[in-house]
Amino acid sequence: MNLWWVRNDGIGGHVWLAPGDLLSLRGEMLAQGIAWEEIEPGSGIPLRKLAPQDQDVITAREIEEALAAASREPLTLSDRSLWEDWLAFLEGGRARGGILVRP
């Protein structure tokens, strides 16, 4: 999965996630209540945007909602640094117009 801040400088503001890391992050986001699936709409990041068929955008508002509820302590992840890096990437995306997601 390829993710970029909507407004990036071409040097920073991007991540490439392996399928296992993406699944781990999705699980942690659900456990913390900062993401939601289509069957139970809520606030935060819709998980369908992290598995797009085509290009999609996670909006700054969705990121803001997610970060407002997020804990720095992972609940399900054994890799604490992955969670910390993900939260830092989300914070950057919030400040730079959201996150562009490409399959």
SS (H, E, C) 37-83: CCCCCCCCEEHHHHCCCCCEEECHHHHHHHHHHCCCCCCCCCCHHHH
Q: What percent of the chain has pLDDT over 70?
A: 97
Question: Which residue is it, tokens 């508002």?
Answer: 61
For residue 68, pLDDT beyond 90? yes
When the pLDDT of each residue in the chain is averaged and rounded to a whole number, the result is 92
Q: How confident is the model at residue 103 (pLDDT cuts 50, 70, 90)?
A: confident
Q: Round to whole Å and give the CA distance between 66 and 90.
A: 9
Is 0.85 topped by the overall pTM? yes
Range of the domain at 59: 2-102
Compute the Cα dihedral for 101, 27, 16, 14 and give only its sign: positive
46 versus 52: the higher-pLDDT residue is: 46
88 versus 10: the higher-pLDDT residue is: 88
For residue 40, pLDDT beyond 70? no
Q: Round to whole Å and give the CA distance between 56 and 33.
A: 21
Residue type, 28: E
Average pLDDT over residues 57-67: 97
Structural domains of the chain, count? 1
Q: How confident is the model at residue 39 (pLDDT cuts 50, 70, 90)?
A: low
